[in-house]
Amino acid sequence: MTTFEGSYLGDASRLPPDARLECKICWYVYDPAEGDPVWQISPGTPFANLPPHWRCPNCDGAREQFMVLHD
């Protein structure tokens, strides 16, 4: 399997609770501090705790399309 920098390899348990992730398709950033009003995800919800059916609210990309942002 080829990996790339920022990939969490679909294993959300590897992510810290405050990790911000960016969709590699449209550059939407999921920030746990803000949640996701489109999917009615409350602020403070870590990426690892998003429901399995959650997708990018901007482009409908799968959660596996998200890469960790290192600020």
First CA to last CA distance, the chain: 26
pLDDT at residue 3 in the model = 42
Ranges under pLDDT 50 in the chain? 1-4
pLDDT in tens, 16-27: 999 999 999 999
pLDDT at residue 51 in the model = 95
DSSP structure string for the chain: ----TTB-TT-GGGS-TT--EEETTT--EE-TTT-BTTTTBPTT--GGGS-TT-B-TTT--BGGGEEE---
For the chain, domains (ranges, CATH) are 14-71 (2.20.28.10)
